[in-house]
Amino acid sequence: MSHAEATAAPDAAEAPTSRTTAAGPEVREASEASEAPTRRRGAFGRLLRSELGLVLGRRRNQLLLALLASVPILLGIVLAIVSDSAYAGQGPGFIDRIGGNGLFLVVTSLFLCTPFLLPLVTSIAAGDAIAGEAGGGTLRYLLTVPVRRGTLLVAKALAAMTFMLVAVALVTAAALLAGGLLFGFDDLTLLSGQTIPLTDGVLRMLGVAGYVAMSLTGLVAVGLFFSTLAEVPVGVMAATVVVAIVSTVLDSLPQLSAIHPFLLTHHWFDFAEFLRFEVSWSLLGQGLALQAAWVAIFGSLAWARFTTADITS
Amino acid sequence: MSSTLTERDHDGVPTTGGDAVVRTRGLTKKFRSGQVAVDGIDLEVPRGAVYGFLGPNGSGKTTTIRMLLGLVQPTSGEALVLGGAMPRSAVAVLPRVGALVEGPAFQPYLTGRRNLDRLDAVDMTADPRTSKARIGAALERVGLSAAAAKPYRNYSLGMKQRLGLAAALLRPRDLLILDEPTNGLDPQGTREVRHLIRELAEDGASVLVSSHLLAEIDQVCTHVGVMSRGKLLVQGERDVVTSGGRQSGERVVITTLRDHVDGARRVLARLAGVDPSSASEAASVEDADHLGDGAVTVTATLGGASLSDVAPALVAADVLVLGIGTDRPSLEDVFVELTGEGFDVAR
Ligand SMILES: Nc1ncnc2c1ncn2[C@@H]1O[C@H](COP(=O)(O)OP(=O)(O)OP(=O)(O)O)[C@@H](O)[C@H]1O
Ligand SMILES: [Mg+2]
């Protein structure tokens, strides 16, 4: 009887069931048969576009993205004005190198946004996914359209993921732009001392951005699961951010080193690998595997919850 | 319970209502709080019916509707909608069902039109090429075309309600499940909704409509069901229900003078075949003294008697007759009688 069954069933199960049970010859019967609900090609794409339009068209979300994009720009301007080597060696490891090579603005900006701003934006998008619809009462109308609960959940998850990707991409693009304009690009001198050509340098920056984005997928899944539990989106967003923060705190306690490898945020800063001559792909692989595990676990929980929950909002 | 359609189809053979668009058996919902919101109801909405689903606040109407739409999983019992078991068949059956549940709800910052567009995009079986035309037609049908470009957040309550109805009409429907469709509408809007329901029914759709504005339902429904404290107290054809089970619910209303009340009662009791000693219970007396002439009305059920027998019998018994007429018991009378007069919600 569960929705899980219904949602997992292939499209063939969508044949109208009334024809076998309706008694007597019926005029309406003919029209019912011709209106047998068949899933249209490209329907999921239309749903996804609609969801993306909703997420990206929302004023609040646009403001968040603008805020994020302003981080590298402001940082670049400040550093350009206060180009004082008195700060050398202070702040994040790459900050004193920006003056010499604008490429470092990308790493520095992502480094600054990773602990809080990016998780915040991710939590807002993921937490809003289902809880926002439940809180507004629109969930009951979406489901009676009807749409399979699993289909809606996947569309919502992809929309939240996309929003997170857009956020990371915006930070990266703004940093490249501001870094190039303010400081110019140059061949990249790695942390280990070697210098690589500019094109390789840009590729490595894109690698950093890609890794940061992949590192946030676990948080999207956590937010999505929380979102299926409650009807107050703000509470869900807050709870999701708290997960990221608590994870960071736990990761900093040496007494808990046994659980560190499993913490959501444990590998978040491994993107620095891209700045070494010999990139440790196995370390990056561990980070991605960890995120995949969190996505699998919390994605399943969200699925199990959402496909069976009573919608009383 | 007899559905005329079924009777015709089966040529007098008694049926178990095989042609119901909604049928539930022992449908029960116990919430985790322990509250039994719906308690073993056997709902039956015949094809083509306009079914008025009545009940005081908190009696379980919305919870029942949520189970019919697959939003809430029944604790026990089963619900068939258009022949499909809910919630399992939701995706197969619901494209043919238009629904309004507990008031409209849309994205506040999207326009009315964009909101409908979004709902259509969610529908995996909708044709995107006809989307624009269908949305336009639905808006037109509920008289919302002029406000289609306004953000939903700027809509008045009635406009929101209309948009909800437009969403229910985005596709041709075989069944409409409308929970309080006239909530918040002005008298004009209420009339239009009533008109719309009639129109939909004429087009062949069946309608399940809940409301506590009984007068509204009274005017459109062919069948009623009355809920109270999670139980379905009574259901059936409207006229059968209002007459308390007898086929004819017709009552006779006589206007006479106060002195003649007892005489009138005796005559009416004799005609209706009621024991004269209980005549005072069989007929109700109401003051109709608007002109200071001491007029009262006596209302009684006719039973098997014919209306044409009433006047001669009264005259023969020397009862003064100032006026004579008939009256159907209103749904409200039945409703209050069944669910009690108290204003407080039951639980
Ligand atoms: N999610 C829930 N959890 C617990 N109890 C609930 C829940 N939803 C409804 N109830 C209870 O179930 C009962 C029936 O509620 P329901 O909303 O079905 O009534 P209703 O007939 O639609 O009332 P109204 O006419 O006021 O809309 C009420 O007592 C209500 O408190
Ligand atoms: Mg209700």
For A184-253, give the secondary structure using H, E and C: CCCCEECCCCCEECHHHHHHHHHHHHHHHHHHCHHHHHHHHHHHHHCCCHHHHHHHHHHHHHHHHHHHCC
pLDDT value of residue B260: 85
Q: Is the dihedral of CA A56, A58, A59, A61 positive or negative?
A: negative
Q: Is residue B17 part of a domain?
A: yes
Instruction: Tell whether A281 is within 8 A of chain B (Cβ).
Output: no
Which residues span the domain enclosing B76?
Answer: 7-242
Task: Specify the pLDDT at position B10.
Answer: 34
B9 touches chain A (CB under 8 A): yes
What's the pLDDT at B115? 96
To test ligand 1's pocket by mutation, which of B63, B180, B209 has the most ligand atoms within 8 angstroms of CB?
Answer: B63
Q: Using an 8 Å Cβ cutoff, are A160 and A220 in contact?
A: yes
Contact status, residue B215 vs residue B332, Cβ threshold 8 Å: yes
In the β-sheet with B206-210, what is the strand arrangement from edge to edge? Answer: B97-100, B175-179, B206-210, B50-54, B223-228, B231-237
Please report, for chain A, the start and end positions of each structural domain, with discontinuous segments joined by +: 24-308
Tokens of A272: 């620095």
- Tens digit of pLDDT for each residue in B16-52? 445 899 999 999 999 999 999 999 999 999 999 999 9
Q: Tens-digit pLDDT profile for chain A (313 aa)? A: 344 333 333 333 333 333 333 333 333 333 343 345 677 888 999 999 999 999 999 999 999 999 999 999 999 999 888 765 555 555 556 777 787 788 999 999 999 999 999 999 999 999 999 999 999 999 999 999 999 999 999 999 999 999 999 999 999 999 999 999 998 888 888 887 888 999 999 999 999 999 999 999 999 999 999 999 999 999 999 999 999 999 999 999 999 999 999 999 999 999 989 988 888 999 999 999 999 999 999 999 999 999 999 999 8
DSSP annotation of A257 = T
The reply to whether B228 and B277 lie within a common domain is: no
Residue B340 lies in a domain: no
Q: Kindly list the distances between the CA atom of residue B332 and the CA atoms of A271, B83, B329, in Å, as whole numbers in the listed order.
A: 72, 32, 8
**DSSP string computed for B294-321:** -EEEEEEE-TT--HHHHHHHHHHTT---
CATH code at position B293: 3.30.70
ipTM of the complex: 0.82
- The amino acid at residue A166 is V
- Point out the domain boundary residue: B210, B242, B274: B242
CATH of the domain at B204: 3.40.50.300
Helix (H) or strand (E) holding B279, with range, is: helix B279-282
Query: A146 vs B94: CB contact, 8 Å cut-off?
Result: yes
pLDDT < 70: residue spans in chain B: 1-18, 243-250, 275-283, 287-292, 303-304, 328-329, 341-347
- B97/B25 same-domain check: yes
Mutation probe of ligand 1 site: the residue of B41, B62, B226 with most atoms within 8 A of C-beta? B62
CA distances from B299 to A81, B255, B282, B315, B323 (A): 95, 9, 9, 17, 12
**Six-digit token pair at A14?**
């969508």
Other beta carbons within 10 angstroms of residue B146's beta carbon come to 9
Nearest to A143 among B71, B89, B125 (CB): B71
Number of domains in chain B: 2
Of all residues in chain A, the one with the smallest CA distance to B80 is: A18
Are residues B163 and B111 part of one domain?
yes
Give the best residue of B124, B135, B170, B174 to mutate against chain A (max A CB count within 10 A): B124
How many Cβ pairs closer than 8 A exist between chain A and B?
161
Hunting for tokens 């007068």 — which residue is that? B215
The whole-number pLDDT of residue B6 equals: 33
- Residue B14 has a pLDDT of 32
Give the Å distance between the CA of B58 and the centre of ligand 2: 7
The pLDDT tens digits of the residues spanning B198-240 come to: 888 998 999 999 987 777 777 888 999 989 899 998 898 887 7
Q: Are residues B160 and B257 in the same domain?
A: no
Q: How far is A29 from chain B (nearest CA, A)?
A: 11
pTM: 0.83
Q: Is residue B343 assigned to a domain?
A: no
Q: Are residues B17 and B110 in the same domain?
A: yes
Shared-domain flag, residues B195 and B125: yes
Cβ atoms within 10 A of the Cβ of A66, count? Answer: 11
Question: Same structural domain for residues B13 and B61?
Answer: yes
Do B216 and B266 belong to one domain?
no
Tell me what pLDDT residue A172 has.
Answer: 96
- The answer to whether the beta carbons of residues B24 and B77 sit under 8 Å apart is yes
Who's near B27: CB < 8 A, 6+ residues apart?
Answer: B38, B40, B41, B42, B43, B64, B67, B74, B76, B77, B78, B79
Does the beta-carbon distance from A142 to B122 stay under 8 Å? Answer: yes
Say if A20 is an interface residue toward chain B (CB within 8 Å): yes
Expressed in angstroms and rounded, the spacing between residue B60 Cα and the centre of ligand 2 is 7
Cα B148 to Cα A280, B154, B166, B203, B215, distances in angstroms = 57, 11, 11, 26, 31
**Nearest CB to B87 within list A3, A15, A58:** A3
* B140 and B15 in a common domain: yes
In this structure, the residue with its CA closest to atom 4 of ligand 1 is B31
**CA separation for the pair A293, A215 (Å, rounded):** 11
Whether ligand 1 lies within 6 angstroms of the CB of A255 is answered as no
Interchain pair A37, B91: CB under 8 A: yes
Residues B150 and B272 in one domain: no
Domain boundary among B190, B215, B242: B242
**In a shared domain, residues B255 and B232:** no
Q: Is some CB atom of chain B closer than 8 A to the CB atom of A23?
A: yes
Tell me if residue A42 falls in helix, strand or coil: coil
- pLDDT, residue A296, reads 97
CA torsion B68-B73-B75-B81 (nearest 10°) is: 30
**Nearest alpha-carbon partner for B42 in B24, B67, B22:** B24
Output the pLDDT for position A193.
Answer: 81
In degrees, rounded to 5, the angle at the alpha carbon of residue B79 between the alpha carbons of residues B105 and A146 is 35
**Chain A residues within an 8 Å CB radius of B19:** 22-24
Residues B113 and B137 placed together within one structural domain of the fold? yes
Q: Is B109 in the pocket of ligand 1 (CB under 6 A)?
A: no
For testing contact with chain B, the best of A47, A141, A152, A229 (most B CBs within 10 A) = A141
A229 Cβ neighbours under 8 A, 6+ residues apart: A131, A236, A305
Q: How far is the C-alpha of B142 from the C-alpha of A292, rounded, in Å?
A: 49
Q: Which is nearest to B116 in space by CA: B136, B94, B146, B92?
A: B136
Chain B residue with the nearest C-alpha to that of A140: B71
